[in-house]
Structure 1
Amino acid sequence: MTIVKTLMPALALMAPLPLHAQTASADAQTSAAAAVDPARLAAAQKLLGEMMPPERRQAMVEGMLRPMMANIQRGIMQSPQIDSALQSNPQAKPILQNYMKAQMEQAITMLRENMPGMVDAIAHAYARRFDAKQLADLRKFFATPTGKAYLEKSITIMSDPDVAAWQQKLMKQSMQHAQQDTKDLVAKLKAANSKNGSQ
């Protein structure tokens, strides 16, 4: 197996670098189309203004995103399949590392450029899920010492050693599945091509 074939699943896993790898459910898609009460939206916007002050938003989001992405990268590099492939071709290691670094910076830049849209989307999401009183209660909580401590410390969760270890373990498992899934896909495509060619 060539190193390119070995690395392909890793590259596929890295390409999107999603903040949350979740598929929208039918309910979520339906609620996204529902109109938002202006009073609830205004309350949600005030809440987000306190939870994520405009002058700190970029640092807060990057504080969560960068450690998460670094954990993913370490998980990929520590994968037995990738490690074996890189040992057989040492020149590929810096290429892969540069690729992953570029993907991280590209994702950060994209998020930074789309920050206003992200905050607006989150405000709408809050407005659909919480009424004005609940949003006011949340504002009161985040004004308390405990609430302020939560906002300050929550952005460091992704850099916690236990969370990092879990993410890296998950990425190694994903790599194993991706390797097998890629082989299965190639086999199915070859079979389909052979069948189509014989007709």
Structure 2
Amino acid sequence: MKPSTPALFVLPIVASLVAAPAGAVPAKHPDAHPAATHRAAPHPAAETAEATAAPADPERLALSREIVDVAFPTGEREAMFGGVIRAMLDQLRANAANQIADAGLRTVVERHIAGLPERLAPVTDKHIPMLIDAMANAYAREFSLDELKEIRAFAGTPAGKHYLARNTALLADPHVEAANQAYLNEAMQQVRGDQGSLRAEINAYVAKHPEARPKPPAPSSSQQPEGR
């Protein structure tokens, strides 16, 4: 009934870090192609989604907001999102411990991952209201008025409140964590296996299209040579 929004929120963070432990393991070609470190322009989807999505029916939207408020009670949202982020990053940190042979390097990576929740907290808190609003609008577009009424009625029962409030927290259940860890272990193996072919494909493309090679950033005014 309810997607795990905090989990979806943290997936890009996890995805961006998945290759980090792998990259820390000595390899034949440890240096990534410059294109891999090029900062991409902000994706326009986030800016245009609200403009392109069909407006939600007001009555359906009102019910959707009530459902989301039960799932993510005001005053508890930051803790709920933060808890899921910490649980998923703990799994990533455990995976790093298994993948990085050098103890010192492993400590560096683990320390970086351990500090992510605190560093991300301001960004997370800033975006939670937008995510909650987006969820409500998505519910209103996905479900009919009658369906929303049924969901809202369920949300008003003790079982419904328990389900909606705890569904996301169950990601931290030991059995779920173990299943996620097994998935992450295998996914990282796949990512490492794909790195070589991706690098080769990027190199081949840039060789044919040199204009696609990332341009070095222009020096700032403080970096301009003096005396000119």
TM-score by length of 1: 0.70
Which of these residues, 185, 188, 192, is aligned with residue 172 of structure 1?
185
Name the structure 2 match of 1:181: 194
1:83 aligns with 2:103: no
Greater RCO (CA < 8 Å, at least 6 residues apart): 1
Which structure features the higher share of helix residues?
A: 1
Of 114, 133, 153 in structure 1, the residue corresponding to residue 127 of structure 2 is 114
Query: 8 Å contact 2:70–2:165 — kept in the other structure?
Result: no
Contact 2:65 2:136 in 1 (8 A): yes
Q: Take 2:194 and 2:84, find their aligned partners in 1: how far apart are those partners? A: 30
Percent identical among aligned pairs is: 28
Structure 2: 5+ residue stretches without partners? 1-22, 33-44, 211-228
The structure 2 residue matched to 1:97, chosen from 97, 110, 118, is 110
1:20 is matched with none
SS at match of 1:91: helix
| Structure 2 Cα separation of the partners of residues 195 and 55 of structure 1 | 54
Q: What pairs with 1:111-190 in structure 2 (closer than 5 Å)? A: 111-190=124-203
CA distance in 1, matches of 2:176, 2:169: 10
Displacement of 1:4 after TM fit?
6.1
Deviations 1:107-129 (A, max 9, x none): 44322111111111001000001
Q: 1:53 aligns with which of 73, 91, 108?
A: 73
Number of equivalent positions: 172
| Contact 1:76–1:171 (CA under 8 A) maintained in structure 2 | no
- Output the CA distance in 1 between the equivalents of 2:65 and 2:141: 12
Question: 1:63 maps to what in 2?
Answer: 83
Decide whether the 8 Å contact of 1:63 with 1:156 is kept in 2: yes
Residue 100 of structure 2: SS of its match in structure 1? helix
Deviates more, 1:179-188 or 1:165-174: 179-188
Measure the CA separation in 1 of the matches of 2:147 and 2:209.
59
SS in structure 1 opposite 2:55?
coil
| Cα-to-partner distance string for 1:16-65 (whole Å, 9 max, x where unaligned) | xxxxxxxx9xxxx7xx6222112211221122223322112122222333
The one-letter code sitting in structure 2 at the alignment partner of 1:125 is A
